[in-house]
Amino acid sequence: MVFSSLTFLYGFLPLTLAAYFLAPRRLRNLTLLAVSLFFYGWGEPVYVSIMILSILIDYTHGFLVERALSRGRDRLARWFVGESVVFNLLLLAFFKYWDFLAANLSRIPGLSLPVLGLPLPLGISFFTFQTMSYTIDVYRRDAPVQRNIVDFGAFVTLFPQLIAGPIVKYKTVAADLAKRSVTSGDFAQGACRFTAGLAKKCLLANPAGELWQSCRDAQAAGALTAAGGWMGLAAFGLQLYFDFSGYSDMAIGLGRMLGFRFDENFDHPYCAVSVGEFWRRWHMSLTSWFREYLYFPLGGSRAGTRRTLRNLLIVWLCTGLWHGASWNFILWGLYFGLWLILERFVLRDLLTRTPVWVKRLYTLAVVFVGWGLFAIEDLGICGSYLSVCFGGGPAWSAADGWRLRSYGLLLLLMVLGSTPWPLRLWRRRPERVRRALTPVLMLLGLILSTAYLVDGSYNPFLYFRF
């Protein structure tokens, strides 16, 4: 079940909100746990058992860590943290990476491993990272141990951010799990944020995906041009941004409606003036997770240049693998790791002297080429596509003119929408005007999004496969 579906909008969500607010306060976490398990099991009921097993393992290990620490047995506490991390990583590795490893290792003469072809549990990369953060936070004494298994289960399965994030660390919602309230203002702001995210997803991301598919079809037919190639990369990059940031808006809005405050996940990344800044603005919950739970424990940048280089490459190799079990994701992660190393050790002085508009163009070029690696799993096809972008084919065709006429306005709206300008203009309006327009815009967004969902057939959520 996806947020941008009629089943969710007009079935699951109204019934869930009714059940949640009719339930006594002491039973609201139990209600959330039940509806979240139903939400997760809607598409893959067999994998609900994996979710429950993950809850039991990490809940138990939180107790074991806390007990060892209270007795001054730090080494034993670290052992239990390690057990929890290993369990989560093995769970992730088995379902997400086994077939990739088996297929590649079986190329070694005399070695044959079975390819199981198991479907990937939805959102496994997100909820395994969340549960890992719990035992680590308990060990670091950044969060109290959770003694109520229902409350812990509600944290792990919380449906607004279960499938595609943002990645919620336990310590950021521990207080909300124990006690929270929802005012009419909170609910209204959450509903507004949800509707904005829905409109971004349905009215902007989905049509941009159709343009990207048109460019991919042109490549398959041998008719791709340099202009069409870059148009396609821009369309995919904008689709991914409005798709994922739209989902994050919906998740944050739903959380607000239920009394939770989730951290922001995007901060206008396409306005960045360096690749490093881009990754501080894009999917911030994942960047923060890797920085806090991997980069810093490895030593960060405190142990000299050589170890800093090693740590950056490890983190970005893991970032690529986190996104998918495929060579293109590995190369994508290393690609950005190398650019970050270049910016830190080679380009830093040059970038400080470069005009802002040049730095923005440079960052966009690097990022959109990276999206080509991200989007096209077949490396041969990816190489061919990028080759055309850099002069390995015709520069322009009549089809590119048709695409510009058909999608030019959409692309312009998405470019403007990826900057802070619309929000700044909105905040400059008098408060009475904003109060009057908000419900009108929300209703219009909901009606247009519903019309698109009724009439359209192209409605993917790109981050579901992670």
- Tokens 């070029």: give the residue: 365
Catalytic positions: 323
**CA atoms within 13 A of residue 14's CA, in its CB half-sphere:** 5
DSSP string, 85-136: HHHHHHHHIIIIIHHHHHHHHTTSTT-------PPPPTTHHHHHHHHHHHHH
Q: Are 224 and 235 in contact (CB under 8 A)?
A: no
Q: What is the 3-state secondary structure (H, E, C) of 8-72?
A: HHHHHHHHHHHHHHHCCHHHHHHHHHHHHHHHHHCCCHHHHHHHHHHHHHHHHHHHHHHHHHHCC
Q: Are 38 and 32 in contact (CB under 8 A)?
A: no
Evaluated on CA atoms 83, 86, 88, 90, the torsion sign reads negative
Q: Are 113 and 105 in contact (CB under 8 A)?
A: yes
Contacts for 227 with CB less than 8 Å, ≥ 6 apart: 395, 396, 397, 400
One-letter amino acid of 454 = V
CA angle at 262 for the pair 203 and 465, rounded to the nearest 5°: 55
